[in-house]
Amino acid sequence: MNLENIEFIWCSAFFILLAGYAILDGFDLGVGMLHLFSKKDHERRIMLNAIGPVWDGNEVWLVTAGGALFAGFPDIYATLCSAFYEPIMVLLSGLIFRAAAIEFRSKQPMAWWRWMWDVLFSLASLIIALSLGIVLGNLIRGIEINEHKEFVGSLSSLFNPYTYLVSILTVALFWMHGAIYIVMKTEGELHDKLRKWVNPAIIFFIMCYALTTMATLIYFPHMSQIIQDRPILFLIGVVDMFAIANIPREINRGKDWLAFVSSCVNIVCLMALFAVGSYPNVVRAINDPDHLSLTIYNSASSHTTLQILLLIAIIGIPLVIAYTFAVYWIFKGKVKLEATSY
């Protein structure tokens, strides 16, 4: 097998895992950010139990993606962990405290106890989304790297107007995704109440998306260069636009599950646009993009390692996908509170 092909295949597998995480944990984060908008304890329990059976399994996709990056592109993994050490620590802290909030929230009946964990649940979900946006924004913009593939910038260099914009877009994306998911999983009075949240979430996302797209095309034209060279890739953007436009259409028709599918397609297209725009770079060197950037070709593991990893991925990824489908099939339908519920 040609080395260049196997590197591309392994990079594609990594982005599939990353897209899987964005789709699955994305609605968890969205539900978390919307959690405090419900004032009644019964409503908050329903929202919590909408993600209760699946939230921990959804995080597996992030762990698997991290493992794939470490095994297939160790130089990139090392540089990312060094450059984004503080944001990653904040992200991991958010994941830990969100898990604690979900598990402990309903263990005691006191109002102050549940309110404390509710606030922590929402705050952790927001922090996770913002941290992901900071990392993503800097990967588009680029970071300072030397000839030894080491990060030589400062923490303050990671925080700039564009990364703030991408962070807000990430929050808006997950907020919309979570709103659609929770509408799909509820019924009755709460369902009607939550349905009113969807359109504002869609409008907020579209505004953030349009603003971020304009900023990207103006200030970071390298993200559209490969699409100019290969016009067929423009179809990704076209599909994305149709998917976004279909979300309010399906909501108005009462087809919540189709709106959720469209939201999933939107996330896949956004990840694809990011991957296509960055290719072949994974970590762009803002100080010398042409010579110091870390690509999937100059930072990959050996040929033998990639072949072994590919064999593992061919076996493992379908198993993860099958397990995920099985869990969602078992817990399909509307949420019902029981004695064992969160």
**Of 51-65, 137-151, 163-177, 253-267, which gets the smallest average pLDDT?**
51-65
Render pLDDT for 61-84 as a digit per residue (tens, 0 to 9).
Answer: 999 999 999 999 999 999 999 999
Residues above pLDDT 70, as percent of the chain: 98
Confidence of residue 323 (pLDDT cuts 50, 70, 90): confident
Render pLDDT for 208-253 as a digit per residue (tens, 0 to 9).
Answer: 999 999 999 999 999 999 999 999 999 999 999 999 999 999 999 9
If you average pLDDT over residues 123-146, what whole number do you get? Answer: 95
Confidence of residue 3 (pLDDT cuts 50, 70, 90): low
On whether residue 209 sits in a domain, the answer given is: yes
**Distance in angstroms (rounded) separating the CA atoms of residues 178 and 218:** 30
If you average pLDDT over residues 165-194, what whole number do you get? Answer: 93
- pLDDT at position 60 over 90: no
- pLDDT at position 11 over 80: yes
**Distance in angstroms (rounded) separating the CA atoms of residues 231 and 221:** 15
Residue 64 corresponds to which amino acid?
A: T
Residues above pLDDT 90, as percent of the chain: 61
On whether residue 186 sits in a domain, the answer given is: yes
Inter-residue contact 98 to 342 (CB < 8 Å): no
On whether residue 341 sits in a domain, the answer given is: no
Res 52: pLDDT: 84
Tally of domains in the chain: 1
Highest-confidence segment of 213-222, 298-307, 329-338: 213-222
Identify any residues that bridge with 229 across adjacent strands, giving them in sequence order.
none
Inter-residue contact 10 to 61 (CB < 8 Å): no
Which residues constitute the domain of residue 234?
Answer: 6-330
- How many CB atoms are closer than 10 A to CB 60? 17
Res 130: pLDDT: 96
Confidence of residue 340 (pLDDT cuts 50, 70, 90): low
- pLDDT at position 2 over 60: no
On whether residue 246 sits in a domain, the answer given is: yes
Render pLDDT for 148-163 as a digit per residue (tens, 0 to 9).
Answer: 889 998 899 999 999 9
On whether residue 71 sits in a domain, the answer given is: yes
On whether residue 337 sits in a domain, the answer given is: no
- How many CB atoms are closer than 10 A to CB 30? 27
- Backbone phi, psi, residue 70, to 5°: -60, -45
If you average pLDDT over residues 144-150, what whole number do you get? Answer: 91
Overall pTM > 0.75? yes
